[in-house]
Amino acid sequence: MSVFDHKEFDQHENVAFINDEVTGLRAIIAVHNTALGPSLGGCRMYPYADSAAALTDVLRLAKGMTYKAALANLPQGGGKSVIIADPRADKTPELMRKMGSFVDSLQGQYIVAEDSGIAVQDIKYMAENTAYAGGLSAHFNYLGESADGNPSPATAYGVYVGMAAAVAFRLGKSLADVTVAIQGLGQVGYRLAEHLHAAGAKLIVADTYQPNVDRAITELGAKAVAIADIHKVAAEVFSPCAMGASINSDTIHEIQAVVIAGAANNQLASDDFGEVLLARDILYAPDYVINAAGIIDLYHQSIKSTPEQLKAHIESIGDTLTDIFKRSQAENQATNMIANLLAEAKFKK
Ligand code: NAI
């Protein structure tokens, strides 16, 4: 399998493979770019169909982290790692410790954190063999309350702030004056709904897990609609907070909202859809910009800053988005493309 000719290869600085017979660890670490600082990114444990699928994932995700860190104004680069195994069946402390040694062998070029399939305890096992593990220190949240390592409250607050900036830019209104359609009421989506409710926004929601919907109806006065309808309801804002690619060739022409602002990663099924949204005068808040508060939180844990510094940094997401919106308008270019250009200007030498 060739790395340099791979379609997802994009000048990654380092792609390292490990095969450990004793623990059964098979993993890949991809370091995309460290121009702004050491690369940071989650470790994903997943039973990939084959190593080619794992390589595709890790190359793509590592690159995404470079862009996210750059536009979050963090002194960090982008990296990611994948363990090719089933988190329910194959996880052992020894395997995680070996992964820690693998991370350590890169001597700080890559800092590992949680991602799907990996829990805090797994990172703790890794940290026995490396100092380059993030998200473990006991810390406070942006309100100064003590918090565990869950990034979702920070992410939800960042999306809320970013959505307010988008609504102000596109409509000249505050969140109290709009209806928001939220797709997915999980760790981030539900907390976002709480912020919006407190701000006076009206909510329309959908989730495949009915108890989340019931709770939003009872606690937040939300109106529920079918999964298939949430993107096309009459609302000023559509907020994808479930899976990726919710803006695709089936949905894009049905969207009635004039602002799209949500937490999900990879909301556009393809980058080209950014142009379609621009042509339809729908303001899209690029996903990796608006959902970056999780890594902002992680960074502030590592430098042991104050809750006020963390909160201010999260709130700067709104300013970054407004800059993107202004340039998009001035140059008549899609917001996702402007975001990429701004990020590249920071990390490309
Ligand atoms: P989660 O798994 O807690 O929540 C997802 C929710 O979406 C669940 O309640 C699920 O039942 C629902 N859902 C699944 N398919 C659906 C569908 N087709 N329609 C409507 N609802 C559906 O995940 P979490 O942590 O809230 O993350 C949400 C999104 O935000 C994901 O795309 C994630 O990658 C992204 N994200 C999360 C961050 C975090 O800090 N948790 C940070 C950055 C991005």
Q: Whose CA is nearest to atom 25 of ligand 1?
A: 187
Position 302 scores a pLDDT of 84
- For residue 196, what pLDDT band results from cuts at 50, 70 and 90? very high
Mutate to test the pocket of ligand 1, among 65, 155, 163 (most ligand atoms within 8 A of CB): 155
Q: Does the pLDDT value for residue 82 go beyond 80?
A: yes
Q: Where are the beta strands (DSSP E) in the chain?
A: 14-20, 25-33, 39-46, 77-84, 110-114, 139-140, 146-147, 179-183, 202-206, 223-224, 237-240, 259-260, 283-284
| Overall average pLDDT of the 24-49 stretch | 97
CATH number of 152-347: 3.40.50.720
Tell me, in angstroms, the distance from the centre of ligand 1 to residue 155's CA. Answer: 11
Question: 152-347: same fold as 3-68+75-127?
Answer: yes
The whole-model pTM stands at: 0.94
**Four-way CATH pick for 3-68+75-127: 3.40.630.30, 3.40.50.10860, 3.10.150.10, 3.40.50.970:** 3.40.50.10860
What letter represents residue 111's amino acid?
A: I
- What residues have CB less than 8 Å from 250, skipping those under 6 apart? none
Ligand 1: atom nearest CA of 151 is 40
> Are residues 115 and 101 in contact, defined by beta-carbon separation less than 8 angstroms?
no
Position 138 scores a pLDDT of 63
Q: Where are the beta strands (DSSP E) in 219-260?
A: 223-224, 237-240, 259-260
Report domain extents, the chain.
3-68+75-127, 152-347
| Overall average pLDDT of the 228-239 stretch | 98
Ligand 1: atom nearest CA of 150 is 40
Kindly report the average pLDDT of the chain as a whole number.
95
Q: Which tokens in the block code for residue 27?
A: 């993993």
Query: Which of these, 123, 54, 121, 38, lies nearest to 86 by C-alpha position?
Result: 54
Q: What is the pLDDT of residues 243-263, one digit of tens each?
A: 889 999 999 999 999 999 999
